[in-house]
Amino acid sequence: MTTLISQETAQDIDQWLMDPSGGAFSIDQLMELAGLACATALQKTYQPCTHPKVLICAGPGNQGGDGLVAARHLWHFGYQPTLFYPKQTDKDLLFGFSFHGEPRPPFDAVINALNETTKPILSVDIPSAWDVEKGNVSGTFTPDSLISLTAPKLGSKSFKGTHWLGGRFVPPHIAQRFKLDLPDYPGSEQVRVLKETARTYDQGWPTAYGMHSPWISTQKGFASRSTTSLEDMHRLDSESNSESDGKSDARRNL
Ligand X SMILES: NC(=O)C1=CN([C@@H]2O[C@H](COP(=O)(O)OP(=O)(O)OC[C@H]3O[C@@H](n4cnc5c(N)ncnc54)[C@H](O)[C@@H]3O)[C@@H](O)[C@H]2O)[C@@H](O)CC1
Q: Kindly indicate which of the ranges 63-71, 112-120, 198-206, 232-240 contains the residues binding ligand X, using the contact rule CB under 6 A.
A: 63-71
Closest contact distance (angstroms) between CB of 204 and ligand X is: 29
17 contributes a contact to ligand X by CB under 6 A:
yes
Pick out residues in 155-174 that bind ligand X (CB under 6 A): none
Which of 9, 45, 150, 227 is the binder for ligand X (CB under 6 A)?
150
What is the Cβ-side half-sphere exposure of residue 248, based on CA atoms within 13 angstroms? Answer: 16
Q: Kindly indicate which of the ranges 1-9, 92-100, 178-186, 201-209 contains the residues binding ligand X, using the contact rule CB under 6 A.
A: 92-100
Which of 9, 45, 63, 145 is the binder for ligand X (CB under 6 A)?
63
Determine the Cα–Cα distance for residues 251 and 146; give it in Å rounded to an integer: 11
| Smaller CB separation from ligand X, 98 or 197 | 98
Determine the Cα–Cα distance for residues 39 and 44; give it in Å rounded to an integer: 9
144 contributes a contact to ligand X by CB under 6 A:
no
- Sign, CA torsion 41/29/131/228: negative
For 236-246, b where at least 16 C-beta lie within 10 A, e where not — what string? Answer: bbeebeeeeee
Q: Give how many residues touch ligand X by CB under 6 A.
A: 28
Determine the Cα–Cα distance for residues 103 and 196; give it in Å rounded to an integer: 29
Determine the Cα–Cα distance for residues 40 and 148; give it in Å rounded to an integer: 13
Nearest C-alpha neighbor of 244 from the set 211, 210, 214, 219 = 210
Which of 53, 55, 66, 147 is the binder for ligand X (CB under 6 A)?
66
Which uninterrupted H or E stretch holds 68? helix 62-76
Residue nearest to ligand X (CB): 96
Per-residue binder mask for ligand X (CB under 6 A), 94-133, x = binder? -xxxxxxxxxx--x----------------xx--------
Determine the Cα–Cα distance for residues 69 and 92; give it in Å rounded to an integer: 10
147 contributes a contact to ligand X by CB under 6 A:
no
Which of 31, 42, 146, 236 is the binder for ligand X (CB under 6 A)?
31
At 26, the amino acid letter reads S
Q: Which residues contribute to the site for ligand X (CB under 6 A)? A: 13-14, 17, 30-31, 34, 59-63, 65-66, 95-104, 107, 124-125, 149-150
